[in-house]
Chain A
Amino acid sequence: MTEMPSTPEGRKMSITLRRSGEAPRHSAVDMTTTLGSLTVPDPVFTASGCAASGQELAPFNDLTAIGGVVTKSIQLTARAGRATPRMAETPSGMLNSIGLQGPGVDVFIKRDLAWLEEHGVRAVVSIAGSTIEDYGKLAGKLRGKPLAMVEVNISCPNVEDRGQVFACDASAAAAVVAAVRRGTASGVPVFAKLSPDVTDLVSIATACVDAGASGLTLINTTLGMVIDTKTMRPALAGVTGGLSGPAIRPLALRCVWQVHQALPDIPIVGVGGIRTGLDALQFILAGASAVQVGTVIFHDPGAPARVSRELREALAARGMDRLEQAIGLGHRPPDMMVPEAPEPLGAELSPAEPESYPGYPPGYESGYDTSYEDEAMRLTEDA
Chain B
Amino acid sequence: MPVQVKGEVLSVKPIGDYYSMTIVASGIAENARPGQFVAVSVGGPEGSTLLRRAFSIYQVRETGVYGGTVEFIFSVTGKGTAWLSRQRSYDPIDVVGPLGRPFALPREPANCVLVGGGYGSAPLFMLADALRTRGCRIDAVLGASTGDRMFGALDAKRMAASVAFTTDDGSYGEKGKVSDVLPDVIDRVHADVVYACGPMPMLEAVQRIAGAAYGGAGIPTQLSVEESMACGVGVCMTCVLPVIGSDDNTRMMRTCVDGPVFAGDRIRWDALGTVPEDAIGAGR
Q: Which A residues contact B (CB, under 8 angstroms)?
A: 49-52, 56-57, 59-60, 72, 77-87, 89, 91-94, 96, 98, 101-104, 237, 245-246, 295-302
Contact = CB atoms under 8 A, between A and B. Distances in A.
A246 B43 CA distance: 14
A60 B228 CA distance: 22
Contacts of B1: 59
Contact of B41 (A52, A89, A299): A299
Q: Most A CB atoms within 10 A — which of B80, B228, B236, B251? A: B236
Contacts of A80: 251-252, 275, 279-284
A298 B284 contact: no
Contacts of B240: 81, 84, 86, 101
B51 A299 contact: yes
B62 interface: no
Nearest to B275: A80
Contacts of A79: 281, 284
Contacts of A101: 237, 240, 252, 281
Contacts of B96: 60, 301
B280 to A, nearest CB: 5
B235 A83 contact: no
A57 B252 CA distance: 21
Contact of A87 (B2, B236, B279, B282): B236
Contacts of A84: 227-228, 238-241, 273
B171 interface: no
A50 B236 contact: yes
Given A59-B2, A98-B238, A87 B281 contact: no
Contact of B230 (A51, A72, A246, A298): A298
Q: Which 5 A-B pairs have the closest CB atoms?
A: A78-B281, A56-B234, A80-B281, A298-B231, A87-B238
Nearest to B240: A84
Interface in B199-237: 227-228, 230-231, 233-237
Nearest to B41: A299
A57 B237 CA distance: 14
A237 B241 CA distance: 13
Given A56-B257, A59-B3, A297-B231, A237 B50 contact: no
Contacts of A85: 228, 273
A96 B236 contact: yes
Contact of A83 (B51, B227, B231, B273): B273
25 contacts: A50-B235, A56-B257, A60-B4, A72-B237, A77-B284, A79-B281, A80-B279, A80-B281, A80-B282, A81-B240, A81-B281, A83-B275, A84-B228, A84-B240, A86-B237, A87-B51, A87-B236, A91-B48, A96-B238, A98-B236, A101-B252, A296-B50, A301-B96, A301-B231, A302-B4
B180 to A, nearest CB: 27
B52 interface: yes
B238 A300 contact: no
B94 interface: yes
Contact of B52 (A52, A59, A93, A298): A298
A208 B275 CA distance: 35
Contact of B236 (A59, A104, A298): A298
Contacts of A82: 275
Given A83-B275, A87-B238, A301-B233, A295 B50 contact: yes
B49 interface: yes
* Majority SS at the chain B contact face: loop
A89 B228 CA distance: 11
Contacts of A78: 280-281
A344 B96 CA distance: 60
Nearest to A85: B228
Q: Most A CB atoms within 10 A — which of B1, B51, B283? A: B51
A237 B274 CA distance: 9
B4 A52 contact: no
Contacts of B284: 77, 79-80
Given A86-B237, A94-B50, A245-B50, 19 more contacts: A49-B236, A50-B236, A51-B235, A56-B233, A59-B2, A77-B284, A79-B284, A84-B240, A84-B273, A89-B49, A92-B50, A94-B51, A102-B281, A103-B281, A295-B50, A297-B231, A298-B51, A298-B230, A298-B231
A299 B50 contact: yes
Given A85-B228, A298-B51, A98 B237 contact: yes
Contacts of A91: 48
B50 A89 contact: yes
A61 to B, nearest CB: 10
Contacts of A297: 231, 235
Interface in B96-112: 96
A46 to B, nearest CB: 9
B236 A81 contact: no
B126 to A, nearest CB: 22
A290 to B, nearest CB: 20
Contacts of A77: 281, 284
Contacts of A295: 50
B1 to A, nearest CB: 5
Interface string B146-176: 0000000000000000000000000000000
Contacts of A81: 237, 240, 252, 275, 281
Contacts of B281: 77-81, 101-104
